[in-house]
A and B are shown apart, each in its own frame.
Chain A
Amino acid sequence: DAGVIQSPRHEVTEMGQEVTLRCKPISGHNSLFWYRQTMMRGLELLIYFNNNVPIDDSGMPEDRFSAKMPNASFSTLKIQPSEPRDSAVYFCASRGSGNTIYFGEGSWLTVV
């Protein structure tokens, strides 16, 4: 079975450009999470959706970040405009009825 699928795997962009990260959760999972991982801050929850509805977005750093989940099989995380301090690995994860959260392989973002 396919796991959580993220794209792109790697992206290098210039400061000020828009970045869109994409996620396809595991089929049948009703919770979706976006995390950001850096050496300095570790793994941080950015936003959490349940049944496609944003439940908690208090982890979203600022207005430059936005996330959508138009349907149960797709979510996006957008950064506009991007800044060098946004460089990190962004993970999407999903969960079904149990306690296990399944992570994607991550999107490695570098903003120069």
Chain B
Amino acid sequence: TQLLEQSPQFLSIQEGENLTVYCNSSSVFSSLQWYRQEPGEGPVLLVTVVTGGEVKKLKRLTFQFGDARKDSSLHITAAQPGDTGLYLCAGGWSGSARQLTFGSGTQLTVLP
């Protein structure tokens, strides 16, 4: 069973602070995605990374895929209240009908 562990589980910070959340697994993934879920909504895709060591930036968000494709991180610079939400990583691997395994999630709260 491929498992994705996310840390921290909960994070509460002040507006303007930086933060990093982590997604770790013992399995090698062919791709890894990050989603954000707001209350009462479904998850929305933020980014997909497919190459070991790959770094992608989305405004104040920086995503990195580990060299061994077993882990990933999401760094947010100068967090804003609008960044509040549940951040989910999801790993995919070729040859599996399950397509994606979701991590346990990090609940981020950014206080004004």
Spell out A's residues near B (CB within 8 Å). Answer: 4, 31, 33, 35, 42-45, 48, 55-56, 58-59, 91, 93, 99-106
Contacts and interface: CB of A to CB of B under 8 A. Distances in A.
B82 to A, nearest CB: 19
| Interface size bracket, B side | 20 to 34
A101 B97 CA distance: 14
Given A99-B33, A105-B40, A105-B41, A56 B97 contact: yes
Nearest to B105: A42
Interface stretch (B16-24, B43-51, B71-79): B43-51
Select the residue from A42, A55, A91, A105 with max chain B CB neighbours within 10 A. Answer: A42
Contact of B43 (A56, A58, A59, A103): A103
Contact of B42 (A42, A56, A103): A103
A86 to B, nearest CB: 19
A106 B98 contact: no
11 contacts: A33-B99, A42-B102, A43-B43, A43-B105, A45-B100, A48-B99, A99-B92, A103-B43, A104-B42, A105-B42, A106-B41
Contacts of B31: 99
Nearest to A58: B98
A48 B98 CA distance: 7
A93 B35 CA distance: 13
B33 A43 contact: no
Interface in B63-112: 88, 92, 97-105
B102 A55 contact: no
A99 B48 contact: yes
A93 B102 contact: no
Contacts of B48: 99-100
A26 to B, nearest CB: 12
A101 B98 contact: no
A42 B104 contact: yes
